Chains A and B, each alone.
Chain A
């Protein structure tokens, strides 16, 4: 089955700990994204990548880091510098075609991160 897979579904972080959220896609999409969703709030962009070995900061990148070593994978690390990490994290991917900005996003099923 083609799709985008996030793991784990639930993750707990201790004080001062870095944790990494996994995102893998087999849709052959060029672009991948990380969003944060808080209760009652709209999704906010953390980082996005349009090509391997390149990524851009979104609106709330502080305290997070990413890598894009393979087209299929875009892991997100929540560092100890992120003081309020409890949220639902969503990974997404999309096709990139020059001149067509309307490609829809495909989302994973999310990771709920909580602080112990």
Chain B
């Protein structure tokens, strides 16, 4: 069964600290992996999209890594800010990469405290 598992479920960190969120998937065949940020009561916003051949991709203070062999991805947030408080969703595209075949993780809820 195609699944995307994220950990931890929730995380609290102090402002200025770094953190890493994890995503493990069992989707096959694999096309791409995406990370989204979702503020409470809002729609998700794309952070990165990585294909099979990409190991790392950055977007400002966000850096995503992908290990297609172990089917793991991580999202590293550097020098966290209060505005980073949100849910972070890992999404994997399979079966030829059609947009109709995206599998969403349940998300990691990050709280950044002053």
Binding site for B on A (CB under 8 A): 4, 6, 31, 33, 40-45, 48, 56, 58, 90, 92, 94, 96, 101-110, 112
Contact = CB atoms under 8 A, between A and B. Distances in A.
B4 A42 contact: yes
Interface stretch (B13-21, B70-78, B89-97): B89-97
A102 B94 CA distance: 11
B82 interface: no
Contact of B106 (A40, A56, A106, A109): A40
Interface residues of B, number: 25
Contacts of B81: none
Nearest to A47: B100
Given A45-B102, A101-B31, A102-B32, A110 B41 contact: yes
Contacts of B41: 109-110, 112
Contact of B43 (A45, A94, A108, A112): A108
Nearest to B9: A40
